[in-house]
Amino acid sequence: MVKLMTRAEIEDFFSRLKKQNPDPKTELKYKNPYTLLVAVALSAQATDKSVNKATEPLFKTVDTPEKMVALGEAKLADAIKTIGLYRGKAKNVIALSKILIEKHGSRVPEDRDALEELPGVGRKTANVVLNVAFGEPTIAVDTHIFRVSNRTGLAPGKNPLEVEEGLLKIVPDAYKLHAHHWLILHGRYTCVARKPLCPTCVVRDLCRFKDKTRELAVEKPKLKMSLRAKRVKR
Ligand code: SF4
């Protein structure tokens, strides 16, 4: 099992991520807590980029539960059809919008249980909404945070809930609000799944991962293309 980091190392780990990016933000585009909730629900098993592509034009005119219900499931499905699992997601978004109107005065509840009762909203989505819209120090464990926490020895766990509970215990209070974004961005752009960019990683000396990469991956396809281009020129 990976050796855990010490308290001093954890402090150092987050202070370096903070130095790199003092005010991290979600990469999902949204206008208000409602559009954030919809965007996060649509992002399950999809990239933020693909969600933004569909929601940026949608949210220009549809940014409240009432407007979403008026749009209707069929038109919503058409607007988000580039996002994976869009039919089920459109159904959930219409259903959750109706519940927000009927039970919560058209507002997004600042309450974990109420959020998790909404169709298509699980613990991860509730954590993101509580963190980003309401400033609560929650940590939503997605695939990136799960990987980074296990590799580095920060908070190893067999499943997302174990990792979330581990992180909540060890992340110093001063870093809790933004820990979620720092870890996601680190996993998305540096500690990537297949070949982590260890040589350029700011926490390399603190990280416990035993298979750190020694050199940055060479982009073979581009190399081949340039060679082919040279041959053609000759
Ligand atoms: S050193 Fe490598 S494995 Fe460790 S956190 Fe950095 S990128 Fe990830």
For 154-179, how does the pLDDT look when each residue is reduced to its tens digit (9 = 90+)? 999 999 999 999 999 999 999 999 99
Ligand 1 proximity of 5 Cβ (cutoff 6 Å): no
Q: What's the token pair of residue 214?
A: 């020694």
As annotated, the active-site residues are 124, 142
Ligand 1 pocket mutation, candidates 16, 198, 200, criterion most atoms within 8 A of CB: 198
pLDDT in tens, 5-35: 999 999 999 999 999 999 999 999 999 999 9
- CA–CA gap between residue 132 and residue 201 (Å, rounded): 26
Please give the distance of CA 51 from its chain centroid, rounded to a whole number: 12
Contact between 85 and 91 (Cβ < 8 Å): no
The mean pLDDT value for 120-132 works out to 96
45 burial (CB, 10 Å; 0-12 / 13-18 / 19+) is: exposed
Task: Band the pLDDT of 218: cuts 50, 70, 90.
Answer: low
Residue 86 contacts residue 78 (beta carbons within 8 Å) = no
Q: Is the pLDDT of residue 194 over 50?
A: yes
Could you tell me which residues come within 8 angstroms of residue 45 by beta carbon, excluding any fewer than 6 positions away? 84, 85
Query: Residue 152 pLDDT more than 80?
Result: yes
pLDDT bucket at 219, cuts 50 / 70 / 90: low
CA of 201 to the centre of ligand 1 (A): 6
Q: Which residue's alpha carbon is at the smallest distance from atom 8 of ligand 1?
A: 191
- At 233 the pLDDT is 39
Calpha distance 108→114 (Å, rounded) = 9
pLDDT, residue 24, reads 95
* Angle value at C-alpha 126, between 125 and 130, nearest 5 degrees: 120
CB 163, CB 149: distance < 8 Å: yes
Kindly tell me if the per-residue pLDDT of 220 is higher than 80.
no
What band does 216 get if pLDDT is binned at 50, 70 and 90? confident
Which atom of ligand 1 lies closest to the CA of 207?
4
Q: Is residue 234 predicted with pLDDT exceeding 50? A: no
- Maximal CA-CA distance, the chain: 72
Distance 160 CA to ligand 1 centre (A): 19
Instruction: Find the range with the poorest average confidence among 1-10, 118-127, 218-227.
Output: 218-227
Q: Is the pTM of this model over 0.85?
A: yes
